[in-house]
Amino acid sequence: MKIHSVIAVSFFALQSAVAAPVVKLGVDVLLQSDSVYLSLVEGKRVGLITNQSGVDSALVPTVDRLARDSRVSLVRLFGPEHGIRGEVPAGEKVADDRDPQTGVRVVSLYGKDRKPSKAALEGVDILMFDIQDVGSRTYTYISTLGEAMRACAETQTPLVVLDRPNPLSGTHFEGPMIEDRFRSFIGWGPIPVTHGMTLGEAARFFNDQLKIGCTLHVVPMRGWKRSMIWDDTGLSWTITSPHIPSVTQAYLYATTGMVSATFQGVSDGVGSTMPFEVIGAEFIDASNLERTLQVLNLPGVRFQAIYYKPFYGSFKDKPLRGVRLRLTDPRAYRPIRTSIAILTTLQAMYPEKLVFKDERPVGIHWGNNELRRQLEAGLGSDAIIDSWRSGNIEFEAARQRALIYD
């Protein structure tokens, strides 16, 4: 009996040790008892931009921690796309409301306003931002951050960003830079499609490059390294939006989402049980596409022929055929290189069946309209990627001043 007890205790101790996160999040650093950052918010009337992904390492929502912390006064919440608790579908407007858990007033940042108004910031001494991002320019949380910075600069309200990991790592970035005429809420700042920065670093980059003039403070993580992907952090993934329930979707979002943003009639799996994990269309030969993509030996991914029928959305009840992306090495995986490989392959296989989306939607996703011309001209993946090189080199140099972590 004693031996069994010792074994049981040792087993659970080992489990606890294994489960302990390697990375301490910005919110954990801020609210620890000896925090040097607490003076930023202690005794202040705090506004908070957050949603269900803003949790500490124990999965306690930041909004709930602040609401019951006597050292701060949480007076206002601001809800990005999908709302403060993440229940609003993609693209739907978020209404002003009152948070049912805390009773704090919620101001929408995804309705008629995308930027906190002067009136909404009245009575707020300091604005905080705590949202988990997926590392892609087209995911709207980074745009919400940029607009918040502008509002804070205009009202002289300090902004505190509680930093979080970039799940794709902090070392790699891909894709074309965005032309000014295609700036939008899914392409807000002068960055590639994937940018290799945390949101704290992105805020520093925007402040520097765009001369926003925001009084910015970043509460950094402890233990995060640039080489880390999400799997290295020891943290649990919390759903960031309705179709990103796991870190698998976070890794794949920038691949399949960019394919479906380019061609009409091509599904990225939204509306099925595999959001952002698949590429499919009614006209695709699944086995042929699988074979063709497999021989490319793209790093970190394999392809599996698949047949599926979405049960909601624009492809509801349509029989689709295509491939499912199976990550074999997320560290080696390159989302945009894979996206371009899929696009060039589809264009070569189905030139008569593929229809490009209109200029504006393609342009705001990719940052320019060169991609359509390149695909129609039959350019290969390497040539398309090479066309971004000078912009990426300039970005790499410009972002150095904003980086926080080794």
Task: List pLDDT tens digits, range 98-113.
Answer: 999 999 999 999 999 9
Are 171 and 123 found together in one domain? yes
396 domain-assigned:
no
167 with 207, same domain?
yes
Q: In terms of domains, do 175 and 213 share one?
A: yes
Q: At residue 11, does pLDDT exceed 90?
A: no
Q: Are residues 258 and 176 in the same domain?
A: no
Which of 234, 256, 274 terminates a domain? The answer is 234
CATH of residue 342's domain is: 3.90.1150.140
Interval 39-55 mean pLDDT: 97
Which CATH number fits the domain that encloses residue 34?
Answer: 3.40.50.12170
Mean pLDDT across the chain: 95
Residue 185 lies in a domain: yes
Q: Is residue 239 one of the residues assigned to a domain?
A: no
Do both 133 and 206 map to the same domain? yes
Residue 399 lies in a domain: no
Angle between helices 141-155 and 199-209 in degrees, nearest 10? 50
Average pLDDT of the residues in 31-38? 94
Whether 36 contacts 84, CB under 8 Å: no
pLDDT at 2 over 60: no
Dump pLDDT digits (tens) for 234-267. 999 999 999 999 999 999 999 999 999 999 999 9
Q: Output the pLDDT for position 33.
A: 87
User: Would you say 213 and 159 are in contact if contact means Cβ atoms under 8 Å apart?
Assistant: no
Q: Is the pLDDT of residue 400 over 60?
A: yes
My answer on whether 271 and 340 are in the same domain is yes
pLDDT exceeds cutoff 90 at 119: yes
Q: Check pLDDT > 90 for residue 14.
A: no
C-alpha distances in Å from residue 364, one per residue of 215, 246, 269, 293, 367: 29, 26, 21, 27, 5
Q: Which domain holds residue 265?
A: 247-368
Longest dimension (CA), the chain: 75
Last residue of a domain, one of 188, 209, 234: 234
Report the pLDDT value the prediction gives residue 89, as an integer from 0 to 100.
87
Flag whether pLDDT at 15 surpasses 50: no
Band of the pLDDT at 10, cuts 50, 70, 90? very low
Residues 259 and 206 in one domain: no
Q: Is residue 10 part of a domain?
A: no
Tell me: do 226 and 279 sit in the same domain.
Answer: no
In a domain, 400, yes or no: no
Name 7's Cβ contacts closer than 8 Å, sequence gap at least 6.
none
Domain boundary among 211, 234, 257: 234
Which pLDDT belongs to residue 87? 84
Q: Are residues 179 and 218 in the same domain?
A: yes
Q: d(Cα 292, Cα 395) in Å, to the nearest integer?
A: 33
Looking at the fold, whether 51 and 179 belong to one and the same domain comes out as yes
Same domain, 188 and 138: yes
Going 102 to 199 to 133 to 365, the CA torsion angle's sign is positive
Question: Domain for residue 268, yes or no?
Answer: yes
Q: How far is CA 210 from the centre of its chain?
A: 21
Same domain, 110 and 188: yes
Full-model pTM: 0.93
Tokens found for residue 257:
């989402």
Q: What is the count of structural domains for the chain?
A: 2
Examine residue 128 and state whether it is found in any structural domain, yes or no.
Answer: yes
